[in-house]
Structure 1
Amino acid sequence: MTDRIFVSNLHIHGHHGVMAAEKSLGQRFMVDIDCAVARPADAADQMSDTVHYGELCDLATEVSAATVFNLIETLAHKLAEAILQKFELVQTVTITVRKPSAPIKYAVDHVGVSVTRSRDG
């Protein structure tokens, strides 16, 4: 049985980017986490048979705070790796990172990346 557990639009503060001001001042990022979870056929009404979305938020915040990344692609990749490592029920995860204050000359709501990683490669 496969379930989908997701977090939409988690706001985190980070110092990611290639520009010096991004690294020193930091900025807001919005993160979506979408997990395909293989729940046991006899899954009970217990947290041990699923993935806690609050823990997904905690992990995203920890990964962002632990390192300064030049690229949000790397942030997304590291978060996907961390989720697969920590949550054995997650088979596939898609991470989307949006950056609303990208230092570009165009008027956009945000720019971003999405990465998908699976346990099977």
Structure 2
Amino acid sequence: MGEREWIHKDKLILRGLQFHGFHGVKDEEKKLGQKFVVDVDAWLDLSTAGETDDLADTVSYTHIYRIVKEVVEGPSQNLLESVAHLIANKTLLKFPQVSAVRVKVEKPHVAVLGVIDYLGIEICRHRKLEKTEPL
């Protein structure tokens, strides 16, 4: 599969996961914490699970939810980029059947002058293809 073909495949979808975390550059963010909202897409082949109706043939949503919870409620990071990177890497490491993951991290309560829904970031990471030696 080419590096970008994963975007058109099956995926698990987790939306609006909310946690209290202590991420940010400002001292107040690290002391008081704030709400973070996370969305995750995890691309993998779901055809076998669709045929067998067996949880063993897929990745449980709750396992990915636990990764997000562990990272967001875990040690403080300065940047949302780091939070998202940790979630993506842990997901790809724990589940070899996941070919790619998209992580969106939102901060809905940011001290800015103006009206906003949230500020945040979104990253996409995919499993690197292993190169084989020519015969």
TM over 0.5: yes
1:11 aligns with one of 15, 18, 21: 18
Check the 8 A contact 1:39/1:89 in 2, yes or no.
Answer: no
- Unpaired runs of at least 5, structure 1: none
Give runs of aligned pairs for residues 39-50 of structure 1, distance below 5 A. 39=46, 44-50=52-58
Corresponding residue number in structure 2 for 1:94: 102
2:113 aligns with one of 105, 108, 119: 105
Secondary structure (helix, strand or coil) at the match of 1:17 reads coil
Q: 1:65-113 deviations in whole A, cap 9, x for unaligned? A: 2210001111001100000011111100000001011222222110110
Check the 8 A contact 2:36/2:72 in 1, yes or no.
Answer: no
TM-score, normalised to structure 2's length?
A: 0.82
Larger Cα Rg: Structure 1 or Structure 2? 2
Secondary structure (helix, strand or coil) at the match of 1:116 reads strand
Q: Would you say 1:33 and 2:40 are equivalent positions?
A: yes
Percentage of identical aligned residues:
34
2:73 aligns with one of 65, 68, 72: 65
Please give the alpha-carbon distance, in whole angstroms, between the structure 2 residues aligned to 1:80 and 1:51: 15
**How far is 1:50 from its partner?**
0.7
- Name the stretch that deviates more: 6-15 or 100-109: 100-109
- Unpaired runs of at least 5, structure 2: 1-8, 130-135
TM-score, normalised to structure 1's length?
A: 0.91
Q: Supply the AA of the counterpart residue of 1:107.
A: V
Please give the alpha-carbon distance, in whole angstroms, between the structure 1 residues aligned to 2:67 and 2:40: 11
Corresponding residue number in structure 2 for 1:117: 125
Count residues with an aligned counterpart.
Answer: 120
Please give the alpha-carbon distance, in whole angstroms, between the structure 1 residues aligned to 2:47 and 2:117: 40
Q: 1:10-53 deviations in whole A, cap 9, x for unaligned? A: 00110000111100011000000001113465862211111111
